[in-house]
Structure 1
Amino acid sequence: MTHAATGPAVPIARHLPWFALFAAAMAACGWWSIHLAAGPLGFSMLWLPGGVLFGVLLSAPRQAWGGYLVAALLGILAANVQRNGLGLVTLVLSLCDVMETWLAAALVVPRVDVRQLGNINRTLRVSGLAVLVSCALSALVAAAARHILLPQSFGFAPLFKTWLASHALGMVIFGALTVIVRAEGRRMLGPPARRLELVVTLLVIAISSWLVFERGQLPVAFLLLPPLMVCVLRHHFSGFVPAIAVIALIAAMATSAGRGPFVLGSETNDLVRSYQLQLYLLCCCWVAFPVASVLAERRVLTHRVARSERQYRMLADYSRDLIIRVGTHRNLDYISPSVTELLGWTREEYDQQRWELIHPEDVAILRDTMDSLYEKGGLASIVYRCRHKQGHYIWLAANVRSVTDANGRAALVYSGRDVTSRVEAELALEQQIRRDPLTGLANRLLFDERIALALARGGRNRTRVGLLYIDLDYFKSVNDTHGHAVGDLVLREFARRLSGCIRSVDLGVRLGGDEFAVLVEDIATTQSLQFVANKLATAMREPMTLGELTLHVTASIGVGMSGCGQTDAAALVQLADGALYQAKAAGRDTWRLAVAEGPNDCDGNA
């Protein structure tokens, strides 16, 4: 539905001066058509009022149609009365003039919006069919009325054809001109810098038309086509409609006055002369309209593309996400301004050192992802670290999609956002899952993962893995005597002392209750394990001062060492557990060592 189908109610009384002015304008147009463009049959060769009224109805709210139709009827009736006198024929012809325009507008308005130049071809088809149908119906009534009420007039067929051609041409040419004038106003003249050019071009066409139709021969009439096409090419649809209107006005007046290339000199050929004029105007439209239509659609398409580009550019420029377009040669064609807010770098700084900003551990992953997208296309998601200008790293979650540029070459579109808070929360949660909440040591889950990895590495590298199993001696009596709160303090203090006795690469574990373990990797002999066991046993013999309470707590330690290249975790655990049992049986506060059967020297040393 178009704009003309809806709108607020129009108060007729308040617009009476406007409707009166419109009636006067319709009377003037009717007078021109009747007197200055009169045809051989008493009908006009180019009916101007129908085109003006058609354009007004197409561009006006439907609630105002009644006022315009009444004003047009009064104006056209006045022009017909001035020429033919007041009578039934005058009334019928005036009603036909108005009703054909109303019917054409009623057929067009619900189907197309005539102001949308992007739909110009559909508008032409719908409007042309509507004009032909309405003009054909009115021509039937008007020709029949003239033929019946004025028997001395020409036959029915000439009357029908003359009315149909003059009204259809007038409605198409001047209807389009009226719509453009009402919808565009000054904008119909084009950009301000080119308006003078359009006026000069129309003046040249007007002078050329006057010269051609003043005394030219028939072939000379087609010399108007070059300046018409220049006007169309330079000014598109805004030049086509007024140029055709100027040619039509001058040609109709000259032909009606007996001048120009269509005057054949014989009274009996006046009807042919009228047909030639109408056919000539139709040819001008057929030649120029396709070019004007293509240019209008091209302008609309260019405007849409430019508007779409502005909108997408605005979205990219004002998005908080980092948006990057990576060209065919891995160059950064576009970097959104959000890079400064997100990373602190300007676009130029980010472009110059982009790979240096990526965390060294993530560079290979990012390069592999981009290589795969360039080669295979598709979409990839990646989470990596990028250095902020202040020196710290932030986590970015990026979606990278492979696209094709205008030349068919691969490019990438990157969209990334800061997910540092989320990743840190996930890492913290991961840490909680694998850490004992009381002591901060690793729990059984992390222990199981690390012992499997350690033995697998040892198997590949032909190295040994050591495991210390530790129990606090008589810990149950501490809980029973002093309570679980003190027992927790003892466990924390033991965990602190244990962490101080091992290397940073070793893993301290609380397996549960008062059971602890230490995983030692990459050892060749038992000396390293003996050193750790002695150091830990000595540390535990020191009294524990817990507030006002001093306790003496010792530990029993079972030490197990895997065989060279051994990968069985259960066997190592069983070995250390057996050694722990021996330490307890020996009176506690000591350690025992058990070594797996097999070669004692992985590296060829004792």
Structure 2
Amino acid sequence: MVFRRYPDMLWHCIGLFALAGGVSLYSIALARATHSPTSLWLANGIMLGLLVRRPLAETWPLLMAGFLGFVTAKQILGDPLLTTLALGLCHAGEALLVSVAIRRRFPVIGPQTRFLALARVGLISAFIGCGLCALAIAAMQHFWPAREFFTSFNTLFRSHFLGMVIAGSTSLVVVTKDWRRSEPGGTPWRLIRDLLLMAVIACVVFSVSRVPLLFLVYPPLLLLVFRHRFAGMVIGLAIIALITTATTMLNIGPFNLVAGTTAAMRVVMAQVFIGASCLVALPVVLALAEQDRLQARVRESELRYRMLADNSGDLVMRIRPNGDRQYVSPSVKELLGWEVDDFMHPRPDLIHPDDRQRITQVVTELRAQGGAVTATYRLQHKRGHYLWIEAFARLVASPDDDGSMEIIYTGRDVTARVLAEQALMESQAQLQTIADNVPAVIARIDMSEHYTYVNRFVEQVSGESPEAMVGKTIKEVRGNRLYEQLKSYLRRAYAGESVMFEYEANYRGHLLQFQAHYVPDRGADGRVRGLYALTTEITHIKNVERELLRLAHQDSLTGLANRRYFHERVSLVLRQAAQFNMPVLLALVDIDNFKSINDSHGHATGDMVLAEVGQCLQRLVREGEMVARIGGDEFVVLCSDIGTEDNAQAFLHSLWERLHMAVAVGTGTVEVRMSIGAAMCHGTVSVDVLMKLADEALYAAKEAGRDTYRLLIRNLHSSESAAEAIYKPGQSGL
């Protein structure tokens, strides 16, 4: 399944099987032929390059290929199968542990990889992996067959660790380096040439057994490091390691100069030499690799900066202390219409005259104090109009290392934004003027009941300033008593309801009436974040309403209720009387011969008579009784708690007697007499029936010669026109 998804995996497995098996066969056979321990175990490190390039789930075919290669080599040499399988598992575990550690820290290894960190992770993981592998193999060899454990572990660990460092590094370089780009033509000729030089010198050094020439290996190794960096080092060390181990195990080379050495001691010396070569080359190559990486980042950063500066719509400049420009971005042409050469020298004449002094001061302060500044000013376009430029400038040390300080300037066209801000400010000023002069208090209140805005009109209403109110709560500004009235309306508005209501409040010693409208303030998400309060003083409106109501219900001449108000009240009185089974008395009062008074003394005198009669009637009635003028000289008295018929007769008699009056007119007087017709009803009765009965009684009084009164009584079972008795002045009847 894996081979179908990744066709190249099959060839990698075949190659790894052959390479791991061949190296294992070479190392084991050479050690056995020379009767010495293996000085350099390379098989595990060879697998490392391929393992780190694959996800963990895809590494098992490669591990299996390396494992089978080792087992095959051991079987060719005739080793027991069970022991071989156990050793193969240890080798595979070592390679797997190191590859997983590197892959977790560096998922991708490329030119941007930090090789110092890679080397640190690789060495630590190799130390741990090789130690565990050597420990496991030594344990097996100590018990099966028995050998000295510490000696076995020491020998195995050194060979595995050196082999992992050299072979692992080499395999990483081989599989990650793009060899096609090493040289023009696609072949790494210079590297091959230098490696051949390294191999020749190493062969010469280790073929001479009389003179110690090991130091001659280091110059070509360092040459490889300086010319080819990591690739040159690891492949050069691999060549040194192979030649060193081969010649040492074959009893050839300068290590034989030490008298009385054994094969094991020569292996140790070879390993020390290989390790010393690593210690010589590794710090140098790591430092050079880090330097190359940093230089590449600097070049890339410079390239990106230049690309951004050249292609940015912003104007970018480097300004020397004398004002000359080290660099002006080509965007000056698109932005201001000027060529780059036109801006290489100071151009203060292009700054708007109103901004020139301010910008000069800003630049002076920047050069004196350092740091960075931002300024907005106007620059003249080549066509003559001005653009608003927002400039950011920072004082930095010159990259020329001459000790001077340069200004890095970045400017962009913000004309549209400035014009929009100016229009917005003008609009806000207009709205503020309108809001402050609207004859109503406009306020915004947040969710914590704090004022966040109050217009200026509040000063005319309460004498408080908006500045003193903003930041305070409604309770603090309005007091506890008024707050309790407003609290329920605030809750409704915070709940999302638009609320309109009226209330009263004392300000400056006057009781004022207000109409308030609370409107929820909703955010973009629809949630209520406060409310707007529009409060209008309606005291004058309420006064006008009361005056209109008074004029609608009151007779202007006498001050009594008019006919309209009388009809509104009489219906209510009759309903209440029927509900509580109470008698109702309605008396019509008419001035006798009023027309002759007008004709003889004039309408002014007639009005005086009407006013005097109205005042007299108002004085005579009790609380709860009603007096109204319903016609020219016709008045009405309505009583709902008259009680008995005797009380009704007594009331009418008293009323008739007291209405005899003399009204002073000029030097004389006018005698006024009254005719009264009254109706007393029990039970349910309509307004029209009651008025009709009272009118009949009044007609009877006038027929009797005026200046008298008549009372009609209607019982529960009487017809609408029937009456049980008529009472005359000074008489009592049945």
Q: Same fold (TM over 0.5)?
A: yes
- 1:313 — aligned with what? 306
- 1:93 — aligned with what? 87
Contact 1:40 1:274 survives alignment (8 Å): no
- 1:241 — aligned with what? 234
- Give a deviation string over 1:360-418, Cα, whole Å, max 9, x none: 44333322221110111133232333222223332322222222334464221222222
Q: Are 1:131 and 2:126 matched, yes or no?
A: yes
Contact 2:249 2:263 survives alignment (8 Å): no
The alignment partner of 1:263 has SS state of helix
Q: Quick one: which of 335, 346, 356 aligns to 1:342?
A: 335
- 1:324 — aligned with what? 317
Contact 2:374 2:393 survives alignment (8 Å): yes
- Give a deviation string over 1:274-315, Cα, whole Å, max 9, x none: 000000000000011111110000001111111122222222
**340-349 or 414-423, which deviates more:** 414-423
Q: Quick one: which of 64, 70, 95 aligns to 1:70?
A: 64
- 2:143 — aligned with what? 148
Q: 1:72 to 1:265 in 2, by over 3 A?
A: same
Q: Which runs of 5+ in 1 are unaligned?
A: 1-7, 436-606
**123-132 or 64-73, which deviates more:** 123-132
The alignment partner of 1:259 has SS state of coil
From the CA coordinates, give the structure whose radius of gyration is larger: 2
Q: Are 1:183 and 2:176 matched, yes or no?
A: yes
Contact 2:46 2:167 survives alignment (8 Å): yes
Amino acid at match of 2:415: T
Contact 1:40 1:271 survives alignment (8 Å): no
Contact 1:218 1:262 survives alignment (8 Å): no
Q: Are 1:285 and 2:292 matched, yes or no?
A: no
Q: Are 1:410 and 2:405 matched, yes or no?
A: yes
Contact 1:317 1:336 survives alignment (8 Å): yes
Q: Name the TM-score, length of structure 2 as normaliser.
A: 0.53
- 1:362 — aligned with what? 355
Separation (CA, whole Å) in 2 of partners of 1:182 and 1:264 = 39
Amino acid at match of 2:40: L
1:348 positional shift: 1.2
Contact 1:113 1:123 survives alignment (8 Å): no
1:429 positional shift: 7.5
- 2:73 — aligned with what? 79
1:39 positional shift: 8.2
Q: 1:345 to 1:36 in 2, by over 3 A?
A: farther
Amino acid at match of 2:38: S
1:190 positional shift: 6.9
**365-374 or 169-178, which deviates more:** 365-374
1:422 positional shift: 4.2
| 1:470-485 → structure 2 map (5 Å cutoff) | none
Contact 2:36 2:264 survives alignment (8 Å): no
Q: Are 1:119 and 2:114 matched, yes or no?
A: yes
1:168 positional shift: 0.8
- 2:613 — aligned with what? none
Amino acid at match of 2:235: P
Q: 1:264 to 1:403 in 2, by over 3 A?
A: closer
The alignment partner of 1:262 has SS state of helix
Q: Are 1:393 and 2:348 matched, yes or no?
A: no
Separation (CA, whole Å) in 1 of partners of 2:326 and 2:189 = 41
Q: Quick one: which of 375, 381, 384 aligns to 2:377?
A: 384
Q: 1:85 to 1:13 in 2, by over 3 A?
A: farther
- 2:51 — aligned with what? 57
1:149 positional shift: 2.9
The answer to which structure has the higher helix fraction is 1
Q: Which has the higher contact order (CA 8 A, sep 6+)?
A: 1
Contact 2:371 2:395 survives alignment (8 Å): yes
Amino acid at match of 1:31: L
The alignment partner of 1:46 has SS state of coil
Contact 1:190 1:238 survives alignment (8 Å): no
1:30 positional shift: 1.5
Separation (CA, whole Å) in 1 of partners of 2:52 and 2:10 = 20
Q: Are 1:213 and 2:179 matched, yes or no?
A: no
1:239 positional shift: 1.6
Amino acid at match of 1:400: A
- 2:716 — aligned with what? none
Separation (CA, whole Å) in 2 of partners of 1:135 and 1:155 = 19
The alignment partner of 1:390 has SS state of coil
Q: Are 1:102 and 2:108 matched, yes or no?
A: no
Separation (CA, whole Å) in 1 of partners of 2:101 and 2:316 = 49
CA RMSD of aligned residues (A): 3.1
Q: 1:27 to 1:188 in 2, by over 3 A?
A: farther
Q: 1:368 to 1:25 in 2, by over 3 A?
A: same
Separation (CA, whole Å) in 2 of partners of 1:39 and 1:268 = 18
Separation (CA, whole Å) in 1 of partners of 2:427 and 2:115 = 68
- Give a deviation string over 1:167-201, Cα, whole Å, max 9, x none: 11111111011111111131684787994332221
| 1:4-15 → structure 2 map (5 Å cutoff) | 14=7, 15=9
Q: Quick one: which of 159, 182, 187 aligns to 2:152?
A: 159
Separation (CA, whole Å) in 1 of partners of 2:176 and 2:302 = 26
Separation (CA, whole Å) in 2 of partners of 1:107 and 1:195 = 31
Amino acid at match of 2:99: A
Contact 2:323 2:346 survives alignment (8 Å): no
Aligned residues: 426
- 1:173 — aligned with what? 166
- 2:248 — aligned with what? 255
Amino acid at match of 1:55: G
Q: 1:34 to 1:434 in 2, by over 3 A?
A: closer
Q: 1:115 to 1:430 in 2, by over 3 A?
A: closer
Separation (CA, whole Å) in 1 of partners of 2:34 and 2:107 = 37
Contact 2:17 2:69 survives alignment (8 Å): yes
Q: Are 1:276 and 2:269 matched, yes or no?
A: yes
| 1:453-472 → structure 2 map (5 Å cutoff) | none
Separation (CA, whole Å) in 1 of partners of 2:2 and 2:186 = 39
1:12 positional shift: 7.4
Q: Which runs of 5+ in 2 are unaligned?
A: 431-734
Q: 1:433 to 1:92 in 2, by over 3 A?
A: closer
